[in-house]
Amino acid sequence: MTVLTLNRELALLQFQRRVLAQAADPTVPLLERLRFLCIVSSNLDEFFEIRVAGIREQQRQENGTVADDGLTPAELLPKVSAEVHDIIARQYALLYDDILPALEREGVVFLRRKLWSEAQQQWIGHYFHREMLPVLTPIGLDPAHPFPRLLNKSLNFAVELEGRDAFGRNSGAAIVQAPRALPRVIRLPGELSEAPYTFVFLSSVLHDHVDALFSGMRVLGCYQFRVTRNSDLFVDEEEVKDLRASLKGELQQRHYGDAVRLEVADNCSGKMADFLLQQFKLGPADLYRVPGIVNLVRLIDVPDWVDRPQLKYPPFQPGLPRVLDKRSDIFAAIRNQDILLHHPFQSFAPVIELLRAAADDPQVVAIKMTVYRTGTDSVLMEHLVRAAQKGKEVTVVLELMARFDEEANISWATRLEAAGAHIVYGVFGYKVHAKLLMLVRREHGNGNESGVLRRYMHLGTGNYHPRTTRFYTDFGLLTCDDGIGEDVAEVFKQITGLGQATTLRHLWQAPFSLQTRVIAAIRGEIDNVRAGRRGRVIVKVNALLEPEVIETLYEASCAGVKIDLIVRGPCALRPGVAGLSENIRVRSVIGRFLEHHRILYFLADGEHHIYLSSADWMQRNFFRRIEIVFPVLDPRIKRRIMREGLRAYLGDNCQAWEMHADGSYSRQNPRSTPRNAQNLLLAELAASS
């Protein structure tokens, strides 16, 4: 029997292959290719920290779980291991055979130890003794010094030794941890190299001077390694009394979770590799040997250090909608018409300006906002702090469980509370992932002396994170529509207070109505086709995994509904299967910017319903998160979203990948006129650089 859905983890690894293809693409600027190579490594780190850790936990529980794709954890882990080993081999081949030689030809050199000149060796020796030696702590392994507790993803060195020390000890092994304060890549002074940019790796410096850490001993081998650990957090709903306090305790332990992967340099002896695996309770399939540096993520900042514009994407200045270009009063602009912002092609500045104006405007009496990710340094949060200090009613629904942003969010919660804001940590067991900002403003006019309260909203598909809006594609809607305002107010009331869920007029909301409304909309297209009318569905999301929605899409395809799915990441649906999904086409677009907006289009018998959303089509987004889907009511904005968010990507023949029924992808090649959606949108929407 053919399995009707694909495996999530294997689909995620297919996505990494598509990202890696950017690093291999000669049309991508050279330093950006290096950056894509590093992004794959960063993505694989998180894949092991969360996804592989979860599979191993399922395997430990031995509950015989079989996923929708028919694989048990015991069957899946070897497939994951084989796939990752292949991806890593491709990464390093690209790095050493293609990218680094090309960079060297452009004057950006990563110098190997055997090529150091005498002057360079002297400078590096001084650097080691001045900057590194004082902060290094070698740990000899013996009964008094057991194997140290190593941080998740930290750089370490396993050293094999021969001889006895001053105390007569001869354990034969030691561990050297590279402190996080030390840079992993070191630039040599310009006068020491003919190339404009010459770098050496911290690991190379330590290898060259490791003898200085073990006086009188003979170093037989020095091997880089790092361990990746389970980084998922667990907070027991039945035990927790204070979520923030409980989460702080968990965060301290995150760096020391169970090991899930061991990376070692390929020169590591078999004896030492086996010893390390034993220490971390890992098996041979969990060992990843790599040539040279064990952590490519450390190179991700190099493009920013190198001032070679021709080796990077051309800079651009995000544009502004004409309606905001002409008006200094942002409240008047929103009252005049709904405003759509398309990031990163258009600026996020209007959202910042809206919050700044709200903090300063005496007529604004209340501000309510959801925060999932915002960063450690956020101008938006500073405006909220200032608004609270000025006595406005500021309520922030701050998601403490936003993965890897927990510490930053706890810090902002503390600052906001100190300023007098009301901080709510959502609903325990449901992450608040909706992107909502609501301002309540008292406005006078029309003979009403006391004024009336009007709601101004920003609803978005992406985070309130000014930095990521420069390289994530997202839509944001500025509106003061009364109906949408009433729904947004109701959502805030549900989250901050207590009470039963009510029926919303415009918004679809997880975990209550989102899945049922999505399925109902697809079934509406099925009904139209069966009644002799046209049926059409176009969806753009980051992931498509929810089984009931997939089943409904299969049903729609069989009924004759034409379906286009633009899914950046994992997709469990099999397109193009005869008798099941021959009317479904799936494509993924990978380019300069991270595709992030979620768009739903239903023909709806010619009414052309368009919705924007914070939610991907996954079980967690439908049932374990508070998510929002909001309609686009303005026909002018509908046309923009259709043109910019859907047709541009369906017509892309440069960065698009078509998915096949077996889960593989093939990249589209322009047969005539090249059409790159992101470049077209930059040309149309961005200001001049």
C-beta neighbour count of 429 within 10 angstroms: 10
- Per-residue DSSP letter, 361: -
Question: Strands, E, within 487-557: which ranges?
Answer: 508-510, 536-541
Residue type, 673: T
Q: Please compute Rg for the chain using Cα positions.
A: 27
Give the CA distances from residue 266 to residues 162, 270, 291, 647, in Å, rounded to whole numbers and listed in that order: 21, 10, 5, 47
**Does the CA dihedral 301-304-310-312 come out positive or negative?**
positive
Rounded to the nearest 5°, which phi and psi values hold at 516?
A: -65, -35
The tokens describing 100, both together, are: 């680094």
Separation between Cα atoms, residue 437 and residue 358, nearest integer Å: 11
Q: Edge to edge, what strands does the sheet with 197-201 contain?
A: 108-110, 197-201, 185-187
- Per-residue DSSP letter, 645: I
Interhelix angle 406-419/243-254, nearest 10 degrees = 150
CA-closest candidate to residue 562, choices 532, 535, 586: 535
In sequence order, the 6+-apart residues with CB closer than 8 A to the CB of 665 are 14, 17, 18, 588, 657, 658, 659
Active site residue 433: yes
Residue type, 409: N
C-beta neighbour count of 201 within 10 angstroms: 22
Separation between Cα atoms, residue 365 and residue 361, nearest integer Å: 9
In sequence order, the 6+-apart residues with CB closer than 8 A to the CB of 230 are 49, 53, 56, 57, 257, 258, 259, 260
Residue in 207, 209, 433, 597 annotated catalytic: 433
- Catalytic residue numbers, as ranges: 433
